[in-house]
Structures are given as C-alpha cells and as structure tokens.
Amino acid sequence: MKATKTVKIVDECNNVVATALVAEQDGLLRGQIDLGPMPAELRRRFLEYEEIIRDQVFSLLDDIEERIAATCLRAILDGGQEAAIEDLQIYPSTGRVSFRIVQSPNARLSRA
C-alpha cells in the first residue's frame, strides 16, 4: 500500500480551502479531498470543471482551467512546507483530487 500524505490546499491569503489525503502515483498526487472549507464561488468553478469533463465539452476546458489557475492555490505539505501546484483536478461530486507539486529545493515530499 502506498504511503498517504495529508495536504492542505490554501488560497493566496493562506486560507485553507480544502484538505486532501493523497498518495503519489506516476508523478501525481491522487486521493480524497474534503471541500468543507471551500468558498462557494470556488466550489462552483470546480463543479463547472467537472461538468465540462463529464459532458466532454473540451472546447470550454481551457477557459475553466485558466480561471481555476487564476485562484493561485498552493499546497501545504507535511512539515509545513509550501509548494506550488499544477494540473489541479477536483471532482466535487466524488471527492476525488489529483495534482502535481511544482518541485523546488524547498518543497519536496518526504518518502515514507
């Protein structure tokens, strides 16, 4: 079984907007996410994203991904390390999440 890590997703004001329990798989962190603290406006963006994916309306995908990226969400890793994230995919209906950590010398996931 792969080691799981708790990751907090924070906004540009360092407010926690979600907490995820993830494991690394093929360079992605994947797992379950708790969207309880997420503001309604941000949750709507992810619901819209999920609907676009489900309905395969890929012509709208770039726009919603840009709007999500504009929220400047970051990850707080085990030990309090902060890291940029990319390829963030949150599916509110299932509570699933996946994303990549943008590696820097100060933000490395510890191997368990």
| Number of domains into which the chain is organized | 1
Domain membership flag for residue 49: yes
The predicted structure's pLDDT at residue 2: 79
Reported as type and span, the H/E element at residue 10 is: strand 4-10
Position of tokens 């504009």?
70
Q: Is 95 exposed, middle or buried (0-12, 13-18, 19+ CB in 10 A)?
A: middle
Which residue range forms the structural domain that includes residue 91?
4-101
Q: Evaluate whether residue 109 is within a structural domain.
A: no
Q: For the whole model, what pTM was predicted?
A: 0.86
Domain of 71, CATH number, reads 2.40.10
pLDDT by residue for the chain (112 residues), tens only, comes to: 578 999 999 999 999 999 999 999 999 999 999 999 999 999 999 999 999 999 999 999 999 999 999 999 999 998 899 999 999 999 999 999 999 999 765 444 444 3
How much is the pLDDT for 34? 98
Which pair of structure tokens corresponds to residue 59? 């012509």
How many residues are listed for the chain in this entry?
A: 112
CB 37 within 8 A of CB 59: no
